[in-house]
Amino acid sequence: MDEFEQWKEQLAHWWRLGLEYVHQVPPTQLYVAVAVLVFTTLLLLSIRLFKRAKSNTIVLTGLTGSGKTVLFYQLRDGSSHLGTVTSMEPNDGTFVLHSETTKKGKIKPVHVVDVPGHSRLRSKLDEYLPQAAAIVFVVDALDFLPNCRAASEYLYDILTKGSVVKKKIPLLILCNKTDKVTAHTKEFIRRQLEKEVDKLRASRSAISDADVTNEFTLGVPGEPFSFSQCVNKVTTAEASGLTGEISQLEQFIRENVKT
Ligand SMILES: Nc1nc2c(ncn2[C@@H]2O[C@H](COP(=O)(O)OP(=O)(O)O)[C@@H](O)[C@H]2O)c(=O)[nH]1
Ligand SMILES: [Mg+2]
C-alpha cells in the first residue's frame, strides 16, 4: 500500500512538472506543435487512401483453355513456358512487364493475377475483382463458337457484379490465338458475344425473381444489347500468347496502371 501511495505522489509530481513546462512554452509555439501534429496525421492518412485508390492489379480471366496462363508468362518473362504450366492454381505476381525491363527510369510494377475459369474456382474472382484496376477477359478466337455460350455467361456474371459496376472497372475482351489464320476477328467475336448476352439478359430477368444472383442488370431495356451500354468501358483487342504478340494487351495495362 505504501508503495502505491509513493507511486501516486510521484505521478502527481510529474504531472505538475509537465503542466508547468507547458505553461512556460509560448502559446504560439504550442499551437504550431499541435498544427504540425494534426497536419502530419492527415498527410499520412491521405497517402494511405490515395495509395489504395490507385490499384495496380490486373485480373486476367476467361474460360479454361483460352490462354491466360501463357499470356501471364509472356507478360512476366517474354516467353510462353509451354508445356510446363497447369491451370488449377491462380498465378499471382507483381513485376515490371518484360517488354519494359529494358526501359530507363522508374517503372511501376504491375500486379497480375490469372484467375482460372473453372466454375469451382470462380469464388477466387470475388476476392480479386474489388481490388482490380482493370479486367482482361481472354477469349479463344480459334475455338470460339462452341464456347460462345459459356464465355458469354461468364462475361455476363462479371459485368453484373457490384464491385465491377460501382467502380466502373474497365474490361478488355482479348481475342487470343490470332496467330492462326482460322481465328475469328475481334469484331466478329464482339458481335457474337453481344448477341449471346442479349439472350441471357432475357432469360435471366425471367427467372431472377426467385433466384437473384446478379447484383446489377445489363444494358438498356427494350434495346438490343451492346457493350457500349455498359457503365464501365468495354473494349476489344487481339493477341497471341504463343508468339508473344501482346502489344495491345500491354497498352491496355499501361492505360490503367500508370507508370
Ligand atoms: N495457337 C495458339 N495456341 C495458344 C495460344 N495461347 C495458348 N494456346 C494454347 O492453348 C492452351 C491453353 O493455354 P493456357 O494458357 O493453359 O490456358 P488457360 O487455361 O486459360 O490458362 C495451351 O495448349 C496453349 O498451347 C495462342 O496464342 N495461340
Ligand atoms: Mg491457366
For residues 72 and 134, membership in a common domain is answered with: yes
Nearest CA to 204 among 157, 171, 165, 161?
157
Buried/exposed code over 166-183 (b: 16+ C-beta within 10 A; e: otherwise)? ebebbbbbbbbbbeeeeb
For residues 26 and 94, membership in a common domain is answered with: no
160-177: average pLDDT: 94
Residue 120 has pLDDT above 70, yes or no: no
Q: Whole domain around residue 23: which residue ranges?
A: 2-50
Residue 217 maps to which CATH number?
3.40.50.300
For residues 18 and 138, membership in a common domain is answered with: no
For residues 89 and 163, membership in a common domain is answered with: yes
What is the total count of domains within the chain? 2
Q: How confident is the model at residue 214 (pLDDT cuts 50, 70, 90)?
A: low
Asked if residues 199 and 188 have their Cβ atoms less than 8 Å apart, the reply is no
**pLDDT tens-place string over residues 22-56:** 888 888 888 999 999 999 999 998 887 766 557 89
For residues 118 and 188, membership in a common domain is answered with: yes
For residues 30 and 110, membership in a common domain is answered with: no
For residues 36 and 74, membership in a common domain is answered with: no
Residue 3 has a pLDDT of 85
Give the cell for residue 75: 507478360
The model's pTM: 0.79
Task: Say how many Å lie between the CA of residue 98 and the centre of ligand 1.
Answer: 19
Q: Which residues surround ligand 2, an ion (CB under 5 A)?
A: 68-69, 87
Name every protein residue with a CB atom under 6 angstroms from any ligand 1 atom. 64-70, 82, 85, 87, 176-177, 179-180, 240-242
For residues 234 and 164, membership in a common domain is answered with: yes
Q: How confident is the model at residue 148 (pLDDT cuts 50, 70, 90)?
A: very high
For residues 44 and 66, membership in a common domain is answered with: no
